[in-house]
């Protein structure tokens, strides 16, 4: 497989299934970004809202090369209700669980981490 093609989880799953030795580590992150809404009409004020994104960094080591794939699993509004945050965390964990299942099915061994509601 060409170097430039290794940029998705599916690429590493295929490589692992073909028997290539791959080491994998997964780290979970919570990014907070400010989204700006610009005025529709001149003279109106702009609004900002802080949003969070739950993301996983998959770091694959193939031979002497390291490749990183970042995947976003859920997002929400910073300071939203605890129940909305819990729903976002649940959705992110379920999506991540599906990816873990595919990676394990390809023979990759790694530590499974999940977000908690304090993420």
Q: Which two tokens stand for residue 83?
A: 């129940």
Half-sphere exposure of 52 (CA within 13 A, CB side): 18
Would residue 44 be called left, alpha or beta, if left means φ above 0 and alpha means ψ between -120 and 50 degrees? beta
pLDDT above 50: residue 1: no
pLDDT above 90: residue 10: yes
Name the pLDDT band for 119 (thresholds 50, 70, 90).
low
Q: Which two tokens stand for residue 91?
A: 């959705």
What is the side-by-side order of every strand in the sheet holding 65-77?
Answer: 22-37, 47-62, 65-77
Q: Which tens digits make up the pLDDT trace of 16-65?
A: 999 999 999 999 999 999 888 776 666 666 688 899 999 999 999 999 99
Residue 16 is inside which H or E element, if any?
helix 9-17
Q: Which tens digits make up the pLDDT trace of 72-114?
A: 999 999 989 999 999 999 999 999 999 999 999 999 999 999 9
Question: Which residue do the tokens 């939203």 mark?
Answer: 80
Global pTM? 0.85
Q: What pLDDT sits at residue 49?
A: 87
Q: Which two tokens stand for residue 4?
A: 């430039």
Distance, in Å, from the CA atom of 78 to the CA atom of 106, rounded to the nearest integer, reads 36
């Amino acid at each position: 497989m060409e170097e430039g093609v290794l940029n998705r989880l599916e690429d590493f799953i295929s490589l692992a299934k073909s028997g290539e030795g791959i080491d994998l580590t997964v780290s979970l992150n919570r990014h907070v970004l400010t989204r700006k809404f610009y005025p529709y009409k001149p003279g109106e004020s702009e609004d900002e809202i802080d949003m969070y994104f739950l993301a996983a960094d998959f770091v694959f080591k193939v031979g002497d090369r390291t490749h990183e794939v970042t995947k976003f699993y859920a997002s929400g509004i910073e300071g939203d209700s605890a129940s909305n945050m819990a729903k976002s965390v649940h959705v992110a964990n379920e999506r991540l669980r599906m990816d873990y299942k595919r990676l394990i099915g390809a023979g990759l061994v790694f530590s499974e981490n999940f977000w908690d509601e304090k993420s």
